[in-house]
Amino acid sequence: MTSSVPRLVIAAPSSGSGKTTVATGLMAAFAARGLAVSPHKVGPDYIDPGYHALASGRVGRNLDAYLCGPELVAPLFLHGARGCDIAVVEGVMGMFDGAAGEGELASTAHVAKLLRAPVVLVVDASSQSRSVAALVHGFASWDPEVRVGGVILNKVASDRHEALLREALESAGVPVFGVLRRVAQVDTPSRHLGLVPVAERRGAAVDAVAAMAEQVRAGCDLDGLVSLARGAGALSCAAWDAAEVLASSPPPPLPVPSPGAAAPSTPPGGSAPRPTSALEGPRPQKPDGLVVAVAGGPAFTFSYAEHSELLAAAGAEVVSFDPLRDEQLPDGTAGLVIGGGFPEVYAAELSANEPLRKAVSALAETGAPVAAECAGLLYLCRELDGQPMCGVLDASARMEERLTLGYRDAVAVSDSSLAVAGTRMRGHEFHRTVVEPEAGDAAAWGVRVPRRRLEGFVQRGVHASYLHTHWASVPGVARRFVERCRTS
């Protein structure tokens, strides 16, 4: 089958050029025209998709060719864009910046090629005039497979500045689709890991998105951009579907571990890695009341939408809860997923909710499956910056100045509620915290880059790690987790 959803990729020469302002503003401006807009973000970032969702009224989705593989980028895009009139894809970093040491892999340019989508280059013009033509010409000609369809000039100082820029760009032969002046109201606050998430500043975020939409509406040729989007090439793949990918999975090679069993550990180099299919399990089931609780609220805002979709396709009823507010887990909770976020910002409030901390600890003690990533790992520790946490793991966590950031190739070193030992997955780390010890007696992952190490914890049904993973790349993770919920 072929699909030709109109689409644009919003790229830039570097970070800080205004991609988020332009992409989010376009989404909101198109939505205000009555178009159904599909919002997407290149790379693993969780925060920008929250602003995209606010702008478009649809869940923001990530397109990451490293985490999921290039072959899944177009199917996942089509999954998110079902029923939409237009899609806007915000790029990551500079247009040609991808996974370190991997060439173009996971770059904005790579994703644009996989989507056969025209690129709109957002250029920070604040400190240049005629030189903008050389910059744009370089980006437009560097890779002939990437189609730069036009530019939007950001941070333009005056009418005279705009005239100089437009005159220079005429020689480059690249259309100018918009000119944006610097507007303080569009600025959004940041902290140590990027923008402050929407869930933490709902009213202010609404105002910021409205300001972005107005600036883009006033400064951009929306009709011209829609016309450019309609020139995207057809995609000859089927949309990703959670139920279908689970139905096509082979049965597991090993039984799901019993709740009280110790998790056997496989040391690095001990046995050959098993293929990804080693994670897969029985065919998906209809929901039967089995509840998987998923942490949310301001402290835990990092989650990929496909995770909950896979859990539901595997037969779970996915119920969200807020660890800042709710004192008990949802009724009937058989498994728990705690994703990323900013628990360090809310350590005192999380600690003060002692009833929920005890409920989480009690659930883990029964051997029920608990999947925790990054912020979830911190929450399961004994303490975070001196504040008592759930105490599921005999480990302490604290903030530090050093930023740990980057893609990771990982191998499961212990059988767990998520993975069979030897299974390879790709993940992403992004944090300014440290956990001591770094790994438990049964570690979650073996990682080789940037240094060879064991990382994370596997005990009873708990799988806790700093690594953010995308389950669409290995859908059997969700099935194995749900099967463990049934047997615990």
Helix H, strand E, coil C: the string for 115-163 is: HCCCEEEEEECCCCCCHHHHHHHHHHHCCCCCCEEEEEEEEECCHHHHH
- CA-derived radius of gyration, the chain: 23
Residue 69 region, left (φ>0) first, then alpha (ψ -120 to 50), else beta?
left
Burial grade of 358 (CB within 10 A; 0-12, 13-18, 19 or more): middle
- The secondary element (H helix, E strand) that includes residue 39 is strand 37-42
Coil vs helix vs strand at 297: coil
| Catalytic residue flag (residue 84) | no
Q: Residue 177 is inside which H or E element, if any?
A: strand 176-181
Question: Which residue carries 């744009």 as its tokens?
Answer: 136
For 79, residues 6+ apart whose C-beta sits below 8 A from its C-beta are: 61, 239, 240, 241, 306
In the sheet that holds 148-156, the strands lie side by side as 61-63, 37-42, 86-90, 7-11, 119-124, 148-156, 176-181
Q: Alpha-carbon distance 475 to 472, whole Å?
A: 5
Nearest to 439 by CA among 477, 403, 400, 395: 395
Whether 359 and 421 have beta carbons less than 8 Å apart is answered as no
| Cα gap 478→263, rounded to integer Å | 19
DSSP string for 210-233 = HHHHHHHHHHB-HHHHHHHHTTPP
List the catalytic residue out of 68, 84, 374, 485. Answer: 374
Q: CA–CA separation, 439 vs 250, rounded Å?
A: 31
Burial 96-113 (b: 16+ CB within 10 A, else e): bbbbeeeebebbbbbbbb
Strand partners, 37: 86
DSSP 400: E
Q: Which residues are catalytic?
A: 374
